[in-house]
Chains A and B, each alone.
Chain A
Amino acid sequence: MADFDITSPTMDGIASHGTKVGLARVLGPAHVWALGVGIVLVGEYMGWNFAVGKGGAYAALIACWFAGILYSCVAMIDSEVTSTVAAAGGQYTQAKHIVGPLMAFNVGLYLVFAYTMLEAGNAITLGYLISEAARMTAGVTDLDQRPFIILSIMFLAWLNFRGVLATLTFNLVITAFAFCAILVLFFASAPWSADSPLAHAELMSGQAALPYGWIGVLAAMHFGLWFYLGIEGTTQAAEEVRSPARSLPFGTLAGIMTLLIAATLTWYICVGFLPWEYLGDGVNGAVAPLFSAAQMTGSNFLIIVLGVGTLFATLASANGCINDASRAWFSMGRDHYLPQWFGAVHPKYRTPYRSIIFLVPIALIFALGAPLDQVITFSILSGLLGYTFMPINIILFRRKWPLDTIKRGYVHPFHPIPAIVLLALCSLTYFAVFLGYGTQLIAMVSFYIVVSLWFHFWRYRFVKRADQFTMPWPKPKGY
């Protein structure tokens, strides 16, 4: 007989005193906040500025705020489902229980590719930063970045192989440093002073205001997502938080607010220092825009602080990405969605070591061979497909298990408005990606169609049916 009752306040399976769901519940809302912000903050240090390139400075700001609304909907929906699906695997596990195995397989791939490409983008930025440091300190102008890219990915994979628990606190510290570095640059720029080096009015006048007109605002939404991409990773901690009902909504929504502040400050600083054409070219121009802005101040102190901030942000993010991507890959291996060889845990370090090692060459291939904007687009598209899944997920969740059938840790308000808004903003973003990057969009979705057919007609035969449904829920309505 089951030793839990999903409707019981003391044996509900979602609280620390709950039951069945296995890992130690030691994390609080601050940890959830730090997990989310740690992975995402690098988005302020690199990548977001492609939004400036696609639409100009004002367009990037509008995109930043609309993307903020999109992610607020993501956080609300995710918080409700995750506070009930209190199991590791995040959206992958949600899809498995609510929509079906094929959707879960796709969601697992979205997670793996969004995080692996983000990791590759981090490594590219790190390589650039080291080459800039060599140029500024030793006058070396043609430093080969590739060894540093390879070394950084290998080193972080090794850390993850050995177990990331010991590095978690260090990760939190370097994330906090990276956030404070943005504040330091903002206050050092003294925007309230008449002598401030920020020159928004002059740099955004004339054609620089909206160089592409309003279609540029739409197009900028593509890279607007980069300000927040990965915040949904907080759900990976669902099984390890003391109280999912409180910690997940609070930590995730506080993370969104932190990122909104950081994103707006970042935009304000960078567009006040750099011409939009330079800022918007993240390949030949501002690869690391906050670092470039610090260089414009001429202050060695600020250059070092923002250089270290960029370095820390990329390392913290890449570390988190390896962790999350490998766990998603591992979970799919464990469920036999992928060859079960990936479902192995290292006997000594207790890590999904085969998944960690397998994803290293994929990250390297993209980090060494593709331009930064392509890598970021690949990551954004995987994330975007995942966000499109969420409205479907919450609508089916409420339909199959109405509010009175399963106790939720958190019930998001105004249903189905957040789902509809999210779906509308996702549609808008598909159009934004289509403007300028339509081939990648088609190629990416075609890839997911082909792997879906591969999974349904070939791979799924190796999967046990009933074993996939592990939550202590009643039978869904309509089945």
Chain B
Amino acid sequence: MARYTPPPQSKIGQMIDVIVLLILSIGALYIPLWLGLAGSAKTPLTADNPTWESLGQNPTMVERWNQLGFADPASAHDMITARFDYSFTWGAMALMVVVIAGYFALMLRLSEKEYREVIDEKFERR
């Protein structure tokens, strides 16, 4: 089997590759943030004149909130009532499974193709 000889890459080509990787990696995190699609948004309940009791806080909890600098229930209200929304649709769940399984399937298939070339060249030259 003829040994594969890679083509040389110019400095500009290398720089373009670096820029592409940078854009992709930064975009992966920032695009969801910019579009306001990122999770973790916990939504506090709305309440007028909350009390420690209405917030479900016992005396020990109240004492700890005071120690932390939250002198009144209103100041701690948002933190206490904020909750994640764990409701989801089966469609979204299926999308997640397809994307992850598809990713690994794609990667293993393409890797296998490349790996066979490596093994063929490596062991046929011995």
Which A residues lie at the B interface, using CB under 8 A? Answer: 53-54, 99-103, 106, 113, 199, 202-203, 205-208, 211-212, 215-216, 219, 273-275, 277-278, 281, 284-285, 292, 296, 336, 338-341, 358, 362, 365-366, 369-371, 373-374, 377-378, 388, 392, 430, 434-452, 454, 456, 459-466, 468-469, 475-476, 479
Count of A-B contacts judged by CB separation below 8 Å: 209
A450-B24, A466-B121, A466-B125 known; A445 and B40 CB under 8 Å? Answer: no
Docked pose: A462 CA to B10 CA in angstroms: 11
Among the interface residues B3, B26, B28, which one has the most CB atoms of the partner chain A within 10 A? B28
Contact at A100–B114, with CB atoms within 8 Å?
A: yes
20 contacts between A and B (CB under 8 A): A53-B84, A100-B112, A100-B118, A101-B114, A101-B115, A199-B64, A203-B61, A206-B58, A285-B79, A338-B17, A341-B11, A362-B26, A438-B39, A441-B96, A445-B103, A448-B103, A456-B110, A456-B114, A463-B6, A466-B122
A281-B79, A370-B29, A445-B103 known; A434 and B93 CB under 8 Å? Answer: yes
Chain B residues contacting A377 (CB-CB under 8 Å) are 40
Chain B residue with minimal CB distance to A215? B86
Chain B residues contacting A446 (CB-CB under 8 Å) are 28, 99
Chain B residues contacting A448 (CB-CB under 8 Å) are 103
Contact at A465–B39, with CB atoms within 8 Å?
A: no
Chain B residues contacting A374 (CB-CB under 8 Å) are 29, 33, 38, 40
Contact at A439–B118, with CB atoms within 8 Å?
A: no
Chain B residue with minimal CB distance to A212? B86
Chain B residue with minimal CB distance to A339? B14
Starting from the known contacts A362-B22, A371-B40, A438-B92, 20 additional A-B residue pairs (CB-CB under 8 Å) come to A100-B110, A101-B115, A202-B60, A212-B86, A216-B86, A219-B86, A278-B68, A338-B17, A374-B29, A436-B40, A436-B85, A438-B96, A440-B32, A440-B38, A442-B95, A449-B103, A451-B24, A452-B106, A469-B122, A479-B116
Docked pose: A61 CA to B108 CA in angstroms: 35
Docked pose: A439 CA to B34 CA in angstroms: 12
Give the dominant DSSP class at A's interface: helix
Q: Which residue of the partner chain, among B58, B83, B118, contacts A466 with CB atoms under 8 Å?
A: B118
Docked pose: A343 CA to B39 CA in angstroms: 37
Chain A residues contacting B112 (CB-CB under 8 Å) are 100
Docked pose: A462 CA to B16 CA in angstroms: 14
Chain A residue with minimal CB distance to B68? A278
Chain B residues contacting A460 (CB-CB under 8 Å) are 114
Chain A to chain B: the 8 pairs with minimum beta-carbon distance, closest first: A100-B111, A100-B115, A447-B28, A339-B14, A202-B60, A437-B39, A466-B121, A466-B122
Docked pose: A277 CA to B52 CA in angstroms: 14
In the assembled complex, B47 has its CB within 8 A of some CB on chain A? no
Contact at B7–A366, with CB atoms within 8 Å?
A: no
Q: List B8-31 residues whose CB lies under 8 Å from chain A.
A: 9, 11, 14-15, 17-18, 20-22, 24-31
Chain A residues contacting B26 (CB-CB under 8 Å) are 362, 365
Q: How far is the CB of B71 from chain A (nearest CB, A)?
A: 14
Contact at A275–B17, with CB atoms within 8 Å?
A: no
Contact at A339–B9, with CB atoms within 8 Å?
A: yes
Docked pose: A426 CA to B32 CA in angstroms: 23
In the assembled complex, B49 has its CB within 8 A of some CB on chain A? no
Chain A residues contacting B83 (CB-CB under 8 Å) are 211-212
Among the interface residues A370, A436, A476, which one has the most CB atoms of the partner chain B within 10 A? A436
Docked pose: A336 CA to B13 CA in angstroms: 13
Q: How far is the CB of B26 from chain A (nearest CB, A)?
A: 6
Docked pose: A104 CA to B54 CA in angstroms: 55
Q: Which residue of the partner chain, among B82, B106, B118, contacts A465 with CB atoms under 8 Å?
A: B118
